[in-house]
Amino acid sequence: MKAVTTSPPPSGVDVVLPCLNEAEALPWVLARIPAGWRALVVDNGSTDGSADVARSLGAHVIHEPRRGFGAACHAGLTAATADIVCFCDCDASLDPSLLVPFVTEVADGRSDLVLGRRRPQGRGAWPAHARAGNLALARMVRRRTGLRLHDLGPLRAARREPLLALGLTDRRSGYPLQMVVRAADAGWRVTEHDVPYRPRTGASKVTGTWRGTWQAVRDMSRVLNETPAPVEAEGAGR
């Protein structure tokens, strides 16, 4: 599906950027944060000066000492103050400027959670083992939630307060999936749009190896086996 911008996006959006040794990629990523939005770089124990680079480029830096993708994402979410919060990887594989139509869709009330479906651009953008793991998880998500998603990618947008109300608990690789599953259980309108996926800058911490990929699949499988939480109210913005 192709996202369509029907009105100017709101200002004052927070973009959470989980970061572990991404000093080389940060200038490219931060240069593409839309004007009027705030970059929240969550440093997850970097040893390459990532925090200093991010700070020098005007980002707000949050330190999360507990390792884990979910730990970094949630630290950013809890530190955010904007009504709408976005998430994007910090390795230059995804362009945060592509979040503009996502935010517009949430702000207009057409969706509660908007996800980017990654479309690899160039050699090495998405290794075969990572795509295989993602495909397996997408199928499991369809069975578990009924959502016909093709990807569980990190580029996404939603409103902050409803996200916090989901009570996300995973602090590892299962965090993005838990967000989708709990949103589906709560009756959210979840949509997916194609986005280009570039070869990342630097070495992957999760999907660069078969072992890392299947550890992530294991984390996410655990999330899928959770008992659905009681739904207090349908939808995130209704």
**Contact assessment for residue 129 and residue 172, using Cβ atoms and an 8 Å cutoff:** no
The amino acid occupying position 216 is: A
Q: How far apart are CA 3 and CA 108, in angstroms?
A: 13
The pLDDT tens digits of the residues spanning 13-39 come to 999 999 999 999 999 999 999 999 999
**Short-list 40, 44, 34, 33, CA closest to 54:** 40
**pTM of the complete model:** 0.85
**Contact assessment for residue 185 and residue 149, using Cβ atoms and an 8 Å cutoff:** no
pLDDT for 85: 98
The CA-CA-CA angle for residues 162, 166, 170, to 5°, reads 135
pLDDT for 125: 64
Alpha helices, DSSP H, located in 46-92: 50-56, 69-79
The CA–CA distances, whole Å, from 89 to 7, 149, 190, 215 equal 26, 19, 20, 19
The pLDDT tens digits of the residues spanning 111-146 come to 999 999 999 887 766 667 677 777 778 888 888 899
**Contact assessment for residue 18 and residue 86, using Cβ atoms and an 8 Å cutoff:** no
pLDDT for 5: 47
**Short-list 137, 162, 165, 166, CA closest to 151:** 137
The DSSP output letter for 79 is H
Q: How far apart are CA 67 and CA 73, in angstroms?
A: 11
Segments of the chain with pLDDT less than 70? 1-9, 124-127, 129, 202-221, 227-235, 237-238
Strand segments (E) across 5-136: 14-19, 38-43, 60-63, 84-87, 113-120
pLDDT for 233: 44
pLDDT for 213: 58
pLDDT for 4: 47
Longest pairwise C-alpha distance within the chain: 46
**Contact assessment for residue 199 and residue 74, using Cβ atoms and an 8 Å cutoff:** no
Handedness of CA 45, 46, 47, 51 (dihedral sign): negative
